[in-house]
Structure formats: structure tokens, C-alpha cells
Amino acid sequence: MVLHRHFLLLSTLLLLSCASLPQRGDMLEIPGSDDAAAAVALEIFLRDLGMPAEGGSDGLSVFVYRRGMATLLTPITRSEGLDRLMATRSYAPAAGRSEEDLHRLSYALNDQLNVGTFSVESGALVFQTHMTFLDEISAAQITAFLDWLDTAELAIVAVDGDDPVLSLSEA
């Protein structure tokens, strides 16, 4: 009887520990150095996770949508496979703001924040950052990365100040 209880306890503990291990279905592994194939694999992976995603027009990146924000994710591969995941977000200027205002804000953001690179392209502020030295990436890591981008956005709003250059700051 005592042996039976120990066996039952051991079995329960074993099952619980297995339930906490990451599942292979929660991991994205990208072999080789084909960036276009990596983008397709990333899009499928995101959709399988239930995240709204669609391929970018360049065929090398994927838009993922969360909380009203589009983030362009670009997997970058090397001969060994996935190396980094680049994230890009664009922000429109507030009404009445010029491209010169956007440039001044990008300089301030690059000076005050150490979260990525800010530039002005096609009349919008562009924020780029990345996760590096990846061989594979998990669903939890992608979600955490997107959460971190949302937090970085709060810092962008803080630097943008009381007389906002970005329309995002007006929300």
C-alpha cells in the first residue's frame, strides 16, 4: 500500500513536470539561410499561435497585429539558421507637424533611449530594434518581445512630451 502511494505520488510529479516543459510546437526553428522561407515559416508560426499576421510586400517580413499596432517582424538568417528577429514600427506625425519636427524627435529619442534606432522615412518616425543570437524562438519569447516593444512605446511617448510630434501621443 505504501509503495502504491509512492508510485502514485511519483507519477503525479512526473506528469506535472512534463506539463511545464516547452513543447516543440511552441518553438520556431529555421534551418538554412533563406530569409524568404524564414518569413513564411514565421507567418505560419504566428498564425498557429492565434496571432493576426500577414506577409509583408517584400516577401522577407511579416506584419503582426496586437493592441491596434502593426509590427513588422523580419527574420534574418545566416548559414546556420535564424540569427536575429528585427522589429519595425512606424508612427505618423500629429496634425500640423512637419518632417523637421520628426527629425528633431528622432534625434532626441536616439539620444535619450537605448532601445533601438529611430529615423524618419517617408514622412513617418520609424523605430527599429531586434533580438539577436537566436537559433530558435519560442512563442513566449515572441510575446515577450512584443510586450517589450509596447513598453518602449511608453518611453517614446514620454520623450515626445507635452507638445506631441506623434499622433500616437494624443491617445
More confident of the two residues 25 and 98 = 98
Secondary structure element (H or E) that encloses residue 160, with its range: helix 139-160
Longest Cα separation, the chain = 80
Task: Grade residue 51 by pLDDT with cuts at 50, 70 and 90.
Answer: very high
99, amino acid identity? E
71, amino acid identity? T
> In this structure, what C-alpha cell is assigned to residue 52?
493576426
> In this structure, what C-alpha cell is assigned to residue 74?
523580419
Q: pLDDT tens digits, residue range 115-147?
A: 999 999 999 999 999 998 777 899 999 999 999
What count of other Cβ atoms lies within 10 Å of the Cβ of residue 1?
A: 5
> How far apart, in whole angstroms, are the C-alpha atoms of residue 127 and residue 120?
9
Domain boundaries along the sequence of the chain: 24-161
Q: Which fold, 24-161?
A: Yope Regulator; Chain: A, (3.30.1460)
Q: Which residue(s) pair with 126 in the sheet?
A: 90, 119
